[in-house]
């Protein structure tokens, strides 16, 4: 079966490795021709996922037409959220009419508040044949073939089942749901909460604080997701609670790492300047906060992270302001 992964960051590369393990020939697209040549020669993605060999079934390319046409049955979008619109618009004319497109990108577009699957539907002719892959999954652990459970969501059950079978191996177990909204909101907001958890850890505030942030962060995911039509069960599952716990506590979490450094006194520009990969939570803090404000949904952790990241508020002041808000019932 022809499969393609658009985006050769750590996550896209790990998913390409997983698809190859599952028995597929995989075309892996990267924008930079030098990057693809290096991957083809060294059989590793040394820039983003060093130490993990690319199976022979993976063919790196920087030719978008070639990559998209190769994914005649399954096309996985794994580019950063800010690049999804441009990339998929360029890819649109090459997409096979019956191809399924799975978004592995987490985020909300600034200015439009569109989720990634909505952008894909808007820029391509895939119609309802779009799905979302979400859930607790670090790229390095998928590449290392550690047991991983994820969720694949699509409004079209055949698309979800098709993608489920395409990705499944004994060490990679996808579950199917129909709740695309819940999966995408869970995967987006958790990155914002992970920054807050990192800030807390960087300040040395302890396990009580982190647990409180995760739990109240889940409440923020729940509030926004349900308002947008999500199933409350999704928020308690792999794409909600599971991904939130992983990203807020895992040492491999880029968003937690950003918060950790901010909590220790580093400046945002310096933190981002030292990173080779995107921490989606930074960009998405603005988009999530703007969406929440437009819908009059209370998301205080998100609001404080916006103040910290973009309005020069100190980490300790943000935490104090969260703790001294007016008292209220939990539910």
305 near 312, Cβ under 8 Å?
no
27 near 4, Cβ under 8 Å?
yes
The SS3 call for residue 51 is: strand
**Cβ atoms within 10 A of the Cβ of 32, count?**
11
Measured CA to CA in angstroms, residue 17 lies from 53, 220, 254 at distances of 9, 34, 21
Token pair of 7 as six digits:
């985006």
Token pair 């489920």 in the structure block, residue: 164
d(CA 295, CA 282) in angstroms, rounded, equals: 21
Closest CA to 118 of 101, 97, 136: 101
103 near 134, Cβ under 8 Å?
no
CA angle 257, 185, 102 (to 5 degrees): 95
Active site residue 73: no
203 near 263, Cβ under 8 Å?
yes
**Active-site residue (options: 73, 190, 261, 267):** 190
CA angle 231, 215, 204 (to 5 degrees): 150
Report the Cα–Cα distance between both ends of the chain, in Å, rounded: 48
d(CA 153, CA 277) in angstroms, rounded, equals: 26
Q: Helix 280-294 to helix 206-227 angle, to the nearest 10 degrees?
A: 50
Token pair of 34 as six digits:
């030098």
Which residues are CB-contacts of 202 (< 8 A; sequence separation ≥ 6)? 259, 260, 261, 262, 263, 264, 315
Active site residues per annotation: 190
């Amino acid at each position: 079966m022809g499969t393609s992964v658009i985006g050769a960051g750590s996550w896209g590369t790990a998913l390409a490795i997983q698809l190859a393990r599952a028995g597929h020939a995989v075309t892996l697209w990267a924008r930079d021709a030098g990057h693809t040549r290096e991957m083809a020669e060294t059989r590793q993605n040394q820039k983003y996922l060093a130490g993990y060999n690319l199976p022979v079934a993976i063919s790196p390319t920087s030719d978008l037409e070639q990559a998209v046409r190769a994914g005649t049955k399954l096309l996985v979008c794994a580019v950063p959220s800010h690049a999804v619109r441009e990339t998929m618009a360029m890819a649109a004319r090459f997409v096979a009419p019956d191809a399924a497109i799975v978004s592995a990108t987490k985020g909300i577009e600034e200015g439009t508040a569109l989720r990634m699957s909505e952008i894909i539907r808007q820029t391509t002719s895939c119609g309802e044949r779009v799905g979302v892959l979400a859930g607790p999954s670090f790229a390095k652990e998928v590449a290392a073939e550690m047991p991983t459970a994820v969720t694949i969501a699509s409004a079209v059950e055949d698309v979800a089942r098709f993608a489920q079978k395409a990705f499944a191996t004994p060490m990679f177990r996808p579950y199917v749901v129909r709740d695309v909204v819940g999966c995408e909101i869970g995967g987006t907001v958790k990155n914002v909460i992970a920054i807050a958890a990192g800030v807390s850890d960087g300040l040395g505030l302890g396990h009580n604080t982190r647990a409180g942030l995760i739990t109240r962060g889940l409440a923020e995911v729940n509030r926004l997701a349900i308002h947008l039509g999500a199933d409350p069960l999704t928020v308690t599952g792999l794409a909600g609670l599971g991904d939130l716990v992983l990203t807020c506590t895992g040492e491999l979490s880029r968003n937690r790492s950003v918060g950790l450094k901010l909590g220790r006194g580093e400046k945002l520009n310096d933190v981002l300047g030292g990173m080779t990969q995107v921490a989606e939570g930074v960009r998405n803090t603005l988009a999530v906060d703007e969406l929440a404000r437009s819908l009059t949904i209370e998301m205080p952790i998100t609001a404080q992270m916006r103040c910290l990241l973009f309005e020069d508020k100190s980490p300790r002041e943000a935490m104090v302001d969260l703790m001294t808000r007016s008292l209220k019932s939990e539910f």
